[in-house]
Amino acid sequence: MKSCQKKNRLINVKDIRLQDEQTFAHCVNVCVMSIALASKLSLTVSKIKSIALGALLHDIGKVLLSPTLLHKKGKLTDSEIEEIRKHPLIGYNLLKDNPDTSATTKVSVLMHHEHFNGNGYPMKLTGEKIHYSARILSVCNEFDSIVNDQNNQNVLHTTDAVEYLIGASGHVFDKSIVDEFIKMIPIYNEGSLVLLSNGIIAIVVKNDPVNLTRPVVRALYNTKTSSKYSRTEIIDLRTDLSIKILREIKTNINELLRG
Ligand SMILES: [Fe+2]
């Protein structure tokens, strides 16, 4: 009787919201990013719709996990990690008999935690054995998790998250998908002011579309010596890897330069 009720249960995105507002917000974020990325990758409208639904439902399996476990702060035990790692398969089982849900949506839910190098779960698939839709989802899912997840102790700034994706591309993620994804992330607009790791305040002169975290900048002011640059000093962060941008800054640079 119980299993019959489960089988006939209608799957609704609201189920996620009832369980966990934060997971719901995460699913919406992943959905928006997945639509943009799938469009950029020139997929058909029907594929994009399937991926969008997969993104909305990718963590639906968590509705059958314990809320105490999902909201636990701090380090999880091995058995708790194992329990949480069941959610892609639970989600797939909730969807698999639904005739109105496409195979692409179902498989993207099942495979959204698989890694290109075979270290993911639940099936430890490698490379192109992971469905393309799931490879798209996994990049968007990871990016939103590390930038926005309040339970994640290692939340990163956008730039560091992009650096992480670049470092993990070809290993954890499909490189061709990461390459397209990072082109969508607006990081530093040309003309914006940034603080560099060597203490220099600089203005972004030119973005490299392949690596948006490392633009060409012009040094304006050295915070360590409290001095401005009298000559044009260009720093190309694409080649000068010893320096990185710490953050964008909102300051009245004219006041600094006048002083
Ligand atoms: Fe997940």
pLDDT digits (tens, 9 = 90+) for 163-197: 899 999 999 999 999 999 988 886 787 888 999 99
Q: Same domain, yes or no, for 113 and 81?
A: yes
Distance, CA 203 to ligand 1 centroid (Å)? 39
Distance, CA 110 to ligand 1 centroid (Å)? 9
Distance CA 120, CA 126 (A): 9
Distance, CA 112 to ligand 1 centroid (Å)? 7
What is the pLDDT, as a whole number, of residue 207?
Answer: 85
Does pTM surpass 0.75?
no
Residue with tokens 């992943």, as numbered in its chain? 30
Distance CA 219, CA 144 (A): 32
Distance, CA 85 to ligand 1 centroid (Å)? 8
Distance, CA 92 to ligand 1 centroid (Å)? 12
Q: Same domain, yes or no, for 230 and 208?
A: yes
Distance, CA 107 to ligand 1 centroid (Å)? 13
Burial of 153: CB neighbours in 10 Å, binned 0-12, 13-18, 19+: exposed
Distance, CA 218 to ligand 1 centroid (Å)? 42
Q: Same domain, yes or no, for 106 and 213?
A: no
Q: Same domain, yes or no, for 174 and 198?
A: no
Q: Is the pLDDT of residue 224 over 60?
A: yes
Distance, CA 109 to ligand 1 centroid (Å)? 8
Q: Same domain, yes or no, for 200 and 168?
A: no
Q: Same domain, yes or no, for 119 and 225?
A: no
Distance, CA 49 to ligand 1 centroid (Å)? 19
User: Domain range spanning residue 109?
Assistant: 2-184
Distance, CA 45 to ligand 1 centroid (Å)? 24
pLDDT digits (tens, 9 = 90+) for 81-131: 999 999 999 999 999 999 999 999 999 999 999 999 999 999 999 999 999
Residue with tokens 């058909």, as numbered in its chain? 44
Q: Is the pLDDT of residue 18 over 80?
A: no
Counting the structural domains of the chain, the total is 2
pLDDT digits (tens, 9 = 90+) for 231-242: 889 999 999 999
* Last-in-domain residue among 184, 218, 247: 184
Distance, CA 237 to ligand 1 centroid (Å)? 35
What is the pLDDT, as a whole number, of residue 6?
Answer: 44
Q: Same domain, yes or no, for 59 and 163?
A: yes
Q: Same domain, yes or no, for 35 and 101?
A: yes
Helix (H, G, I), strand (E, B) or coil at 205: strand
CATH number for the domain spanning 41: value is 1.10.3210.10
Residue 2 pLDDT class (50, 70, 90 cuts): very low
Q: Is the pLDDT of residue 74 over 70?
A: yes
In 3D space, the residue among 15, 26, 12 whose CA is nearest the CA of residue 151 turns out to be: 26
Q: Same domain, yes or no, for 161 and 244?
A: no
Q: Same domain, yes or no, for 172 and 200?
A: no
State the virtual CA torsion across 182, 167, 131, 32 in degrees, nearest 10.
Answer: -30
Q: Which residue has the higher pLDDT, 74 or 205?
A: 205
Distance, CA 113 to ligand 1 centroid (Å)? 6
Distance, CA 59 to ligand 1 centroid (Å)? 5
What is the pLDDT, as a whole number, of residue 3?
Answer: 40
